[in-house]
Amino acid sequence: MSKNERALPATEVKNRFGRVLGEIARTGGPVIVERGGKAVAVILSIESFERLRPKAARTQDRRALARAAFGMWAERADIDDAWLARGRARWRSKWSDE
C-alpha cells in the first residue's frame, strides 16, 4: 500500500461515507474497501479515475450521456444554455417561490 492509500472495512465505509469522501478529496489517495478481510472495491478521487480512463472513452461517455438526457435534440447546435434559459423562463410557475 502506498502512503496515501487506506484500507477500511465495508461497514465502516458505509457508516462514515461522508468522512471517507472528505478524506479522499483532501488526500487524493484511494480507499480500499474490504469485506471479510479481503479487498473488494476501491473508492478513487475523480482526478485519479480520469487519469486511469483513456481520453477517447471520456469523450464518448459525455456524448452518450448527452444523447440519453436530450434524445434526438442532443446534436442540435441551436439548443444552447441561452435557449434553455428562455424556455424555462416562459414556463416558470406563477406559484413558485423563485
Q: Is residue 31 within 8 Å of 42, Cβ to Cβ?
A: yes
- Angle (CA) 25-31-36 rounded to 5° is 155
Residue 98 domain flag: no
Whether this model's pTM surpasses 0.85: no
State yes or no: pLDDT of 96 exceeds 60. no
Q: Between 52 and 43, name the one with better pLDDT.
A: 43
Gyration radius from the chain CA atoms: 21
Residue 74 domain flag: yes
The three cell numbers locating residue 1: 500500500
Where in the sequence is the domain holding 80, given as residue range(s)?
55-90
Q: Is residue 40 within 8 Å of 10, Cβ to Cβ?
A: yes
At 37, the amino acid letter reads G
Distance CA 93, CA 27 (A): 44
Residue 96 domain flag: no
Residue 53 DSSP symbol: S
Q: Strand pairing partners for 39?
A: 34
Residues 10 and 43 in one domain: yes
Residues 45 and 70 in one domain: no
Phi, psi angles (nearest 5°) of residue 62: -65, -40
pLDDT in tens, 55-86: 666 677 777 777 777 666 667 777 778 887 88
Residues 16 and 45 in one domain: yes
Number of domains in the chain: 2
Which pLDDT value is given to residue 88? 79
